[in-house]
């Protein structure tokens, strides 16, 4: 499981020119699910996200988490995070989970993130053609890969 975490001043996702979700200050999470992912991957990533100290404290040091900030979270599924570009110029998505595997894991990820934050999260729509807008804060962008924990 891969998450591209972006600290944002605001972010939104639209489908067919209609805004589905929008958040204020917080985190935009682009979520890529692969065939080998499990509940353990979800727990590890969610724990890392909610506890990552990437918000500035009163001294201007990145020392606070999304929990301490009570910030918003927007989760957008993005299978292209698992693109393999080793051969040729057309990316291969062979590692990306098919919808029958990915959708239950996506829903479980949303539930776990909601539970750990102790408040609802905003989402895109799995499999939809989405337009994502954001104002990256910092910029702070971090990649988390549950298969690369060590």
Instruction: Report the C-alpha gap between 34 and 40 in whole angstroms.
Output: 13
Query: How many CB atoms are located within 10 Å of the residue 109 CB?
Result: 27
Q: What is the DSSP letter of 143?
A: E
Q: What per-residue string of b and e applies to 66-88 under the rule 16 or more CB within 10 Å gives b?
A: bbebebbbbbbbbbebbeeeeee
For residue 80, indicate whether it is catalytic. Answer: yes
Residue 111 to residues 46, 50, 116, 122: CA-CA distances in angstroms? Answer: 10, 13, 9, 11
- The answer to whether residue 6 is catalytic is no
Active-site residue, from 6, 55, 78, 109:
78
Choosing from 6, 55, 79, 109, which is the catalytic residue? 79
123 catalytic residue (yes or no): no
Determine the straight-line distance between the first and last CA of the chain, rounded to whole angstroms: 14
Catalytic residue annotation = 78-80
């Amino acid at each position: 499981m891969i998450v591209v975490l972006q600290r944002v001043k605001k972010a939104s996702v639209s489908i067919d020119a209609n805004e589905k979700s929008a958040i204020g200050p917080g985190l935009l999470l682009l979520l890529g699910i692969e065939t080998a992912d499990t509940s353990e991957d979800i727990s590890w990533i969610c724990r890392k996200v909610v506890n990552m100290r990437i918000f500035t404290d009163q001294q201007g040091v990145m020392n606070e988490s999304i929990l301490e900030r009570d910030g918003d979270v927007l989760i957008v599924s993005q299978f292209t995070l698992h693109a393999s570009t080793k051969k040729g110029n057309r990316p291969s998505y062979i590692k990306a989970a098919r919808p029958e595997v990915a959708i239950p894991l996506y829903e479980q990820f949303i539930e776990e993130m909601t539970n750990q934050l102790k408040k609802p999260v905003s989402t895109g729509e799995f499999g939809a053609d989405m337009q994502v807008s954001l104002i990256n804060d910092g910029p702070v962008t971090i990649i988390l890969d549950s298969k690369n924990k060590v």
